[in-house]
Chains A and B, each alone.
Chain A
Amino acid sequence: MTAADVVSRLRSGMTIGIGGWGPRRKPMALIREVLRSDLKDLTIVAYGGPEVGMLCAAGKVRKLVYGFVTMDAIPLEPYFRKAREAGEIEVVEYDEGMFEWGLRAAGMRMSFLPTRCGLATDVLARNPALKTIASPYDDGEVYVAMPALKLDAALLHVNEADCLGNTLITSADPLFDHLFARAATECYVSTERLQTRFALDAASARQNYFERYLVTGVVHSPFGAHPTYSNPDYGWDLSHLKRYNASANEEDGWRDYVSEFIAGTEADYLRKVGGEEHIRTLPLPVF
């Protein structure tokens, strides 16, 4: 399917989980299609990177469920900051591990999972809906009952996929994408490379992290994670991220960014950011 097909299956008001982590392997081609759409009032659930800032800037976000929003090399995401400081979005802020636990609970069809993470912090104080629960065993220890983070849809970006919905993540870190897939009613995956049917050897088959029955649709989106990085295929585009970051300090900066990069097609986007040759040679970040 196409990115437009994916967006046509999403509705305003939905809860949408976004895979990846900060500036890593974000499904940006799908996000750009969301930015081009009329979707609004979304609840976004993410280990946030620039996609969260862009969705906030575009006024798509009603509520944000997150543990952080960052672009790493540029630690503070400018449009997330603006929206957060203006009080424009409702926020539910979790510890990174609580967040994982919420996705796991949803994927296991549990209403919650217990954890110590979040106790004695303002994560509880600022989220009055969060409850604690005492162990029913002799220890009686009190835990946070981390509620399931059930998603209407998940958007992910992978390195390879086939037309049946089998996926491979060849990045060094699969991140938590499999948990987003499991937590979601529908899961849409963009992929660097698309094959008709996989015929894998055992070593590469191990890079399949979640089953195809979880995948609703696959979109062939070469360089679809740009400007975030999708290792081992290409690094992040730091000069583009800086350009994006700077736009937040310019009058009409977001409108200009949209008209320059988002308003056209994905092919236009790739051409404007320097073309496939440029993206292919972006070095992987060294930490």
Chain B
Amino acid sequence: MNQIAQDVVSQESGFSLAELMIVAASEAWRGDGEVLASGIGVVPRLGASLAKMTHAPLLLMTDSETFLVETPVPLGPRGDFKPAYSGYMSFDRVFECVWGGKRHAMIGPTQIDRYGQTNLSVVGDYARPKAAMLGVRGLPGNSINHANSFFVPNHSPRVFVKGEVDMVSGVGYQPARWPKGANAAFVDLRRIVTNLCVMDFEGKNRACRVRSLHPGVSFDEVQAATGFELEIGDDCAVTAAPTQAQLELIRWLDPHNLRATVIKNNPPGVRGA
């Protein structure tokens, strides 16, 4: 264990908020079987890796480049670790996988709305945007073809917007957006893991619903940080803390402690701890 990782463990709560979110993210893939797990970004990738190493061993994963691996690849410079490849997954094969539906991706969109529609393109007016981001990337195809979850490191009304997102990049459960005759049957929005809670779209009429609150966070606080009305699940729980075994796997998967950089000041997993 390196020094920074030791520092994190020595926090009073015993785990950081990022580590809590990694475990929550890993739960998104529970029960998925043989699908390609694509976690884009530090927490989603560690979540997918942790899922594969614990409860979802059949997941397909890549080395975050071109090859499939059965042992998830630790993040960052690899030292002595040499990935063992089990297959090949070039970009064109990823697209083929997307269209066939055998994938569950977790990405971090810039905006999400009450319908689960996501935006990665521009904020503001389309012709002269306030902020130009990446472009729609693969969101239109991903969202209409396979399971998707989302990661939001800074839960706020700027991300969870009132009304609809500025440029619908990923589709959601907004009937008015669907042309007559289009097939919405493959749309499958699973979890949203944020720095405050875990949500899903299993509320009434696909409403966004809080399914667990992170330790020390109230529903009112989550609602205040969200631009649309949320539901709360009857069985809403406190987000499960990482076990020692999970923390050890996370440390192995992230030897350079990149997870400490995801949330400002790397706060502890238990609020106020």
A→B interface (CB under 8 Å): 21, 48, 66-70, 75-76, 80-81, 84-87, 93-98, 100, 115-123, 125-126, 132, 134, 140-143, 172-176, 286-287
Complex contact A119–B134 (CB within 8 A): no
Given contacts A117-B144, A286-B78, 17 further A-B contacts (CB under 8 A): A69-B134, A84-B129, A86-B128, A96-B137, A117-B140, A118-B141, A119-B140, A119-B171, A120-B144, A120-B179, A121-B169, A121-B170, A123-B140, A123-B169, A142-B183, A173-B66, A286-B77
B→A interface (CB under 8 Å): 63-67, 76-78, 90-92, 95, 98-99, 121-122, 126-141, 143-145, 167-171, 174, 177-184, 186
A256 to chain B, nearest CB (A): 23
Complex contact B132–A121 (CB within 8 A): no
Given A117-B140, A174-B90, verify A67-B135 contact (CB < 8 Å): yes
* Chain A residues in 8 Å Cβ range of B98: 97
Closest to A125 in B: B168
* Chain A residues in 8 Å Cβ range of B65: 172-173, 287
A69 to chain B, nearest CB (A): 6
* Chain A residues in 8 Å Cβ range of B90: 172-175
Complex contact B167–A85 (CB within 8 A): no
Complex contact A116–B183 (CB within 8 A): yes
* Chain B residues in 8 Å Cβ range of A100: 92, 95
Given A95-B136, A174-B90, verify A121-B95 contact (CB < 8 Å): no
* Chain B residues in 8 Å Cβ range of A21: 91
> Which residue of A85, A98, A116, A126 contacts B132 across the interface (Cβ within 8 Å)?
A85
Complex contact A69–B135 (CB within 8 A): yes
* Chain B residues in 8 Å Cβ range of A69: 134-135
Given A86-B128, A100-B95, A123-B140, verify A116-B168 contact (CB < 8 Å): no
> Which residue of B91, B134, B183, B186 contacts A76 across the interface (Cβ within 8 Å)?
B134
Closest to A22 in B: B134
State the CA gap A198–B131 with chains docked (Å). Answer: 48
* Chain A residues in 8 Å Cβ range of B145: 116-117
18 A-B contacts, Cβ less than 8 Å apart? A81-B131, A95-B139, A95-B140, A95-B141, A97-B138, A116-B144, A116-B145, A116-B183, A117-B140, A119-B144, A119-B171, A120-B171, A120-B178, A141-B183, A173-B90, A173-B91, A176-B92, A287-B65
Complex contact A122–B91 (CB within 8 A): no
Complex contact A68–B134 (CB within 8 A): yes
B74 to chain A, nearest CB (A): 10
A246 to chain B, nearest CB (A): 18
* Chain B residues in 8 Å Cβ range of A87: 127-128
Closest to A48 in B: B135
Given A122-B168, A172-B65, verify A98-B92 contact (CB < 8 Å): no
Closest to B62 in A: A287
Given A80-B132, A286-B76, A286-B77, verify A98-B183 contact (CB < 8 Å): no
Complex contact B135–A76 (CB within 8 A): no
Complex contact B167–A126 (CB within 8 A): yes
State the CA gap A100–B183 with chains docked (Å). Answer: 21
Complex contact B181–A141 (CB within 8 A): yes
Given A67-B138, A95-B141, verify A121-B171 contact (CB < 8 Å): yes
Complex contact B181–A134 (CB within 8 A): yes
Closest to B170 in A: A121
Closest to A285 in B: B65
* Chain B residues in 8 Å Cβ range of A176: 91-92
Complex contact A175–B91 (CB within 8 A): yes
Complex contact A97–B133 (CB within 8 A): no
* Chain A residues in 8 Å Cβ range of B144: 116-117, 119-120
B65 to chain A, nearest CB (A): 5
Complex contact B135–A68 (CB within 8 A): yes
B28 to chain A, nearest CB (A): 21
Complex contact B91–A118 (CB within 8 A): no
* Chain B residues in 8 Å Cβ range of A75: 134
State the CA gap A87–B132 with chains docked (Å). Answer: 10
A192 to chain B, nearest CB (A): 19
> Which residue of A97, A120, A123 contacts B182 across the interface (Cβ within 8 Å)?
A120
Complex contact A93–B136 (CB within 8 A): yes
Complex contact A68–B128 (CB within 8 A): no
Complex contact B135–A93 (CB within 8 A): yes
State the CA gap A123–B66 with chains docked (Å). Answer: 28
Closest to B178 in A: A120
* Chain A residues in 8 Å Cβ range of B171: 119-121
Among B64, B77, B144, B171, residue most surrounded by chain A Cβ atoms (within 10 Å): B144
* Chain A residues in 8 Å Cβ range of B99: 97, 115-117
Complex contact A67–B95 (CB within 8 A): no
Complex contact A122–B169 (CB within 8 A): yes
Given A21-B91, A176-B92, verify A126-B134 contact (CB < 8 Å): no
